[in-house]
Structure 1
Amino acid sequence: MKPRRIEDEVFQHLSGRWALQILLSLSNGPLRFIDLRRAIPTVSANTLTTRLRELEAIGFVERRQLPPPTSIQVYDLGEFGRGLRPTLEHLALWKADLCCSAFALRR
C-alpha cells in the first residue's frame, strides 16, 4: 500500500464536513465554543468538538485558556489556518455573491 502524502491528509481534513465553516467563522477572530455553535447553528456540539480537535491536531485551529478568574477556552486560527486567511476571505466573498445571486434568481 502506498503511503499517504501529507497534502492529501490535509485536504481530507479541509474537505471534511464543517471544516470550512469553522475556519470561516474563526477568520474574523477568536471565538468561544458557544459562539462557534451560534455561528454554525446546524452543527451538533459533539460534531463541532470532534472537528475542532481534528483541526487543532493538524495546526489549523488553536485552543487557549483565558486567564483566571475565567475558565473560558477560546478557539482561533492556528499557524496553518492563518496562512489560509486570504483564501478564506475570498471564499467568504464568493459565498456572499452566490447567496445574493441565488436570492435574485428566486425573485
Structure 2
Amino acid sequence: MTVSLAEIRRTSGEVFTEGCPTRVVLDHIMSKWGVLVLLALTDGTLRWGELRREVEGISEKMLASTLRQLEADGFVERTSYPEVPPRVEYELTDRGRELMERMLPLVEWVAANAGDVLKADLIAGRG
C-alpha cells in the first residue's frame, strides 16, 4: 500500500504542524530504542531479561522507560505473574502488531542498505 504525500496532506494535514500529536507518537515508535524493542517483540512474548539480552546496549533505565511508554501508547502489553521470583512478560498488542506489519519493510530496507548509506557518509566526509 503506497500513500502519496498529497494524500497524507489531504487526510492528515496536521502532520506537518508543530503541535500535531503525530510527532509525539512518531518520537515514541521511531526512536532507536522504541524501534528495537518493538522489533524484538515481533516474534512473540519476551521476559525482561530476554528483552535486555535481545536489545544489546540498552540500559535497564532506558528499557524500563521505553516499555512504559510503549505500554501507555497501547503498543505493548505487560503481564505480571504473582510468582516467586516475580515473572513479567511483554508482548505486542493488536495495535503493536499492526504497527510492526507496516514498520518491518522499513527495517528490512534499512538493514539491506545501511552499509551503503554509511559508506556514502564516509566518502562525503560526514562519518
TM-score > 0.5 by shorter chain: yes
Aligned identity (percent) is: 33
Task: Give 5+ residue unaligned stretches, structure 2.
Answer: 1-16, 120-127
- Tell me which structure has the larger Cα radius of gyration: 2
Kept in 2, the 8 Å contact 1:27–1:88? The answer is no
Deviates more, 1:66-75 or 1:81-90: 66-75
Query: Which residue of 1 is the match for residue 13 of structure 2?
Result: none
Match for 1:75: what amino acid? Answer: Y
Query: Which of 108, 114, 117 is the matching residue for 1:93?
Result: 108
Question: How many Å apart are 1:82 and its aligned residue?
Answer: 1.3
Give the 4+ runs in structure 1 shifted more than 6 A. none
Compute the TM-score of the two structures, normalised by the length of structure 2.
Answer: 0.66
What does 1:1-107 align with in structure 2 at a 5 Å threshold?
Answer: 4-66=19-81, 68=83, 71-98=86-113
The SS at the match of 2:32 is: coil
Match for 1:17: what amino acid? Answer: K
Between the two proteins, the alignment pairs up a number of residues equal to: 101
Deviates more, 1:86-95 or 1:10-19: 86-95
Compute the TM-score of the two structures, normalised by the length of structure 1.
Answer: 0.76
Match for 1:28: what amino acid? Answer: D
Question: How many Å apart are 1:6 and its aligned residue?
Answer: 2.9
CA RMSD for the aligned pairs? 2.6
Query: What is the distance in 2 between the residues matched to 1:76 and 1:21?
Result: 13
Residues 16-53 of structure 1: CA deviation (Å, up to 9, x unaligned): 33000000000111100100111112000111001100
Q: Which has the higher contact order (CA 8 A, sep 6+)?
A: 1
Task: Give 5+ residue unaligned stretches, structure 1.
Answer: none
Q: How has the CA–CA distance of structure 1 residues 92 and 15 changed in structure 2, closer, same or farther, with 3 Å as cutoff?
A: closer
Larger % of helix: which?
2
